[in-house]
Structure 1
Amino acid sequence: MFRPSNSQDNNDIKNFVAFTNCFSDMISRISIADSSIIYVSPSCKRLLGFTSQELLNHSLFDFVHPNDRLKVEQAFAVKTHDTDKVVYRMKRQEGDYIWVETTFCHYEYLESQDHEQYFCLTRDVTDLKLTEEQLKENQKKYRDLVEHSHDTIGVVTFDGCWIFINGSGKKLFGITRIGEMIGRSMFEFVKKQDHEKLETAINETIKQQSIQELRDITISRSDHEMRQTEIKMIPTSYKGRETIQVVLRDISDRKKTEEMLQQTEKLSVVGELAAGIAHEIRNPLTAVKGFAQLLKQHNYADVMLQELDRIEEIVNDLLILAKPQVTSTEVTDLIKIMNKTVTLMNPQAIMHNVTIQTQFSSEEIKVECEADQLKQVFINVIKNAIEAMENGGNINIYIDDYHHYVMLRFIDTGTGITPDRLKKLGEPFYSTKEKGTGLGLMTSKKIIENHHGQFNIDSKVNKGTTVTMTLPKSLATN
């Protein structure tokens, strides 16, 4: 029970007045009998926009939101000398409402006619309330997202035991109830061959506090059916406990689709190869067959041999493509191989009004190689360059000797190749020539790669094409 003292120090009164003027929270006394406002501190102006005089003798419920009135009435109905709290909305002078929290206690003020009163301390909690509501809304959205996700989303402890899993987990693991998973280890459902990867990912998630991803993890369902999955692990907290959120995506169907596409691709390549081989071999065979019938009357053996050589050339190209690596090598002078090739190709170049010029950084450059295969590459490249210059032109061949490798450049002044066609060069049976098979360039690239080298083509329309090759001097050098 509060009794004002006649001997109360004037300084205390001044301090109290200063406190109520500066304090942002509103102090008030409310009559229990009729809920009228008996006293309110000046801070009501900042909180509600009303002056103290404008609020005095008004009922508190004149300013309480209608939907919150019952809650406030019920809170004030309990007469206790202990403090209590109630959160509700109060109307401001401008007409809007703010959320407030009022801490109040019952006491008897003997000097007043309304001696039973509530002593109240009211503060603005609008921002806090809106934040709480936004948090609840976000939590609901997250719960809905997790529950309706096609991916399996769950939470595991640091030792991999499930403590939460969403409804999609039933489909992935082949279970009837979510409860069947709670408390069980992830390792029970992962194939043994993937245990080490899973354990490493869990440890890294804990240690680095970062997201870890696993691909192609095999899950064994409760019915022993196998599923391929991708797993993402995210450090999180669950009910105040440090845990790991696990997201599992079933990629079994995607894997099957990829395998089917790969198989279709293989069949497509086989079809292209079969068509190309049949076309290329059928032409010389037709000639051989025709001239064989006339062999009795005329000497067509030379023509037949040329066509048989053509068949042999195509078969050899295919064999080189299939051969995984160089089998028989010797240290050979690359300059000699190139000079022999140029001598061989010069007659064809002269017929097409093409000049072949060479420039070598050394008179002799020794490399470990299969000489005949490299000669075939040089022939293919020079032949392509000659055929690209219908009106004549120049082919410049440069060989530069570097310490461990050799660089070769074949530069022609032909019509060049457009960027879209340049991308397709090297594919089986794609050629820029009308009767080409594409095997020559494909074979050349394969030979250089088998020699641990690199093969690149750069071209500009109406300016020409540059073929660049690099070869290690020793096959033991990458």
Structure 2
Amino acid sequence: MSEQTATAVQRLMDQYTEIARLAGALAHEIKNPLSTIRLNLQLLAEDIEDEPSPHQQRSLRRVTTMQNECRRLQGLLDDFLNFAKVRQLTLRPTNLNKELDDLLDFFVPEAEEAGVEVVRYLDRELPTVLLDRESFRGAVLNLLLNAKQAMPNGGQLTVATTSEGDWVLVHLIDTGTGMDDRTAARMFETFFSTKPGGSGLGLPTTSKIIEAHGGAIRVETEVDRGTHFTITLPVPPRLAAQAATVQQLDIPT
């Protein structure tokens, strides 16, 4: 990379950082009074409930509607702040299978309640990868929840890990409603959502986290057949070399 190109890239990164900082500050300025509004609405609702006249009941319904809208805006702000903040990942050598096992143990009760069977096929010879555990778990959990929501009548969710050369792959395959080509092409766009009341920031945030790990995410989907997400993560050269050495030592002579 030439010095001129490096300077241009750094300038763009600085601009992005400043925009993210300003956006976060604006969201916080909205979030603080919104919390006060929610508190006052709660107090107002409690006062109205003490006088259950027809007029007061109509007022209570209006207050409840405003409370619901405040909660929706609060959720949108939280999603936006999570997306906008500049990610400084703390990457550490991590057993990816163990992270997925722990996350799935946490997710399975919710999946079973929705009639979703979770099947695991984890390659036990998987190389170690560098992960920021908290952000990566959040990204994968978002995909798991999306898969569950795509199977309103139950179904099966398969989670598998494989390796290809210097890459590790995580597959999440559901038997849900799938998506048409237009939706699939736009699903990672900021603020694009097909869910009523959705922020359209969940999948863009997930993609951003995976890219910050040096990886990528792709999707294959078909209406009424399901969706297959694939997360690709790099194996650091040193760790890849160590894994190759171990595999060589395991070969009988």
Please indicate, yes or no, whether the TM-score normalized by the shorter chain is above 0.5. yes
**Residue 379 and residue 456 in structure 1: after superposition, are their counterparts in 2 closer, same or farther (change >3 A)?**
same
Q: Which residue of 2 aligns with 1:431?
A: 193
Q: Which residue of 2 aligns with 1:420?
A: 182
What is the correspondence of 1:182-221 to structure 2 with a 5 Å cutoff? none
Q: Which residue of 1 aligns with 2:158?
A: 396
- State the shift of 1:398 in Å: 0.8
Q: Which residue of 2 aligns with 1:368?
A: 130
Could you tell me the TM-score, scaled by structure 1's length? 0.36
What is the correspondence of 1:235-246 to structure 2 with a 5 Å cutoff? none
2:174 and 2:226 in contact (8 A); partners too: yes
2:31 and 2:74 in contact (8 A); partners too: yes
Structure 2 segments unaligned to the other structure (5+ residues): 1-19, 48-66, 240-253
Q: Which residue of 1 aligns with 2:89?
A: 327
209, 234, 237: which is aligned to 1:472?
234
Matching residue's letter, 2:110: Q
Question: Residue deviations 1:36-55, cap 9 Å, x none?
Answer: xxxxxxxxxxxxxxxxxxxx
Matched, 1:318 2:81: yes
Matching residue's letter, 1:457: V
Q: Which residue of 2 aligns with 1:291?
A: 42
Q: Which residue of 2 aligns with 1:452?
A: 214
What is the correspondence of 1:71-90 to structure 2 with a 5 Å cutoff? none
Question: Residue deviations 1:374-396, cap 9 Å, x none?
Answer: 10011100000000111110100
Q: Per the alignment, in what secondary structure is the counterpart of residue 410 of structure 1?
A: strand
Counterpart-to-counterpart distance in 1, 2:121 and 2:143: 17
**Residue 295 and residue 346 in structure 1: after superposition, are their counterparts in 2 closer, same or farther (change >3 A)?**
farther
- State the shift of 1:329 in Å: 1.5
Counterpart-to-counterpart distance in 2, 1:435 and 1:313: 9
What is the correspondence of 1:53-452 to structure 2 with a 5 Å cutoff? 285=35, 287-291=38-42, 311=74, 314-315=77-78, 318-323=81-86, 326-362=88-124, 365-452=127-214
Question: Residue deviations 1:242-283, cap 9 Å, x none?
Answer: xxxxxxxxxxxxxxxxxxxxxxxxxxxx9xx99xx79x969x
Counterpart-to-counterpart distance in 2, 1:403 and 1:326: 27
Q: Per the alignment, in what secondary structure is the counterpart of residue 432 of structure 1?
A: coil
Question: Residue deviations 1:178-210, cap 9 Å, x none?
Answer: xxxxxxxxxxxxxxxxxxxxxxxxxxxxxxxxx
1:394 and 1:413 in contact (8 A); partners too: yes
Counterpart-to-counterpart distance in 2, 1:430 and 1:447: 18
Q: Per the alignment, in what secondary structure is the counterpart of residue 168 of structure 2?
A: strand
Looking at secondary structure, tell me which structure has more strand per residue. Answer: 1
Counterpart-to-counterpart distance in 1, 2:216 and 2:204: 13
- State the shift of 1:328 in Å: 1.6
Question: Residue deviations 1:159-183, cap 9 Å, x none?
Answer: xxxxxxxxxxxxxxxxxxxxxxxxx
1:398 and 1:409 in contact (8 A); partners too: yes
Q: Per the alignment, in what secondary structure is the counterpart of residue 386 of structure 1?
A: helix
Question: Residue deviations 1:52-100, cap 9 Å, x none?
Answer: xxxxxxxxxxxxxxxxxxxxxxxxxxxxxxxxxxxxxxxxxxxxxxxxx
TM-align CA RMSD? 3.6
**Residue 461 and residue 365 in structure 1: after superposition, are their counterparts in 2 closer, same or farther (change >3 A)?**
same
Counterpart-to-counterpart distance in 2, 1:424 and 1:476: 37
Matched, 1:463 2:228: no
1:362 and 1:400 in contact (8 A); partners too: no
- State the shift of 1:352 in Å: 1.3
Counterpart-to-counterpart distance in 1, 2:165 and 2:193: 35
Counterpart-to-counterpart distance in 2, 1:312 and 1:294: 21
Task: Figure out how many residues of one structure are paired with residues of the other and give that number.
Answer: 192
Could you tell me the TM-score, scaled by structure 2's length? 0.64
Counterpart-to-counterpart distance in 1, 2:43 and 2:107: 31
**Residue 458 and residue 343 in structure 1: after superposition, are their counterparts in 2 closer, same or farther (change >3 A)?**
same
**Residue 437 and residue 320 in structure 1: after superposition, are their counterparts in 2 closer, same or farther (change >3 A)?**
closer
Q: Which residue of 1 aligns with 2:7?
A: none
- State the shift of 1:347 in Å: 2.1
Counterpart-to-counterpart distance in 1, 2:83 and 2:191: 15
2:214 and 2:233 in contact (8 A); partners too: yes
Identity of aligned pairs, percent? 25
Q: Which runs of 4+ in 1 moved over 6 A?
A: none
- State the shift of 1:317 in Å: 5.2
**Residue 361 and residue 438 in structure 1: after superposition, are their counterparts in 2 closer, same or farther (change >3 A)?**
same
Q: Per the alignment, in what secondary structure is the counterpart of residue 81 of structure 2?
A: helix
**Residue 293 and residue 396 in structure 1: after superposition, are their counterparts in 2 closer, same or farther (change >3 A)?**
same
Matching residue's letter, 2:97: I
Higher relative contact order, chain-length normalized (CA < 8 Å, sep 6+)? 2
Matching residue's letter, 2:184: L
Matching residue's letter, 1:415: T
2:89 and 2:212 in contact (8 A); partners too: no
Matching residue's letter, 2:162: D
Question: Residue deviations 1:6-41, cap 9 Å, x none?
Answer: xxxxxxxxxxxxxxxxxxxxxxxxxxxxxxxxxxxx
- State the shift of 1:313 in Å: 8.7
Question: Which has more radius of gyration?
Answer: 1
Q: Per the alignment, in what secondary structure is the counterpart of residue 328 of structure 1?
A: coil
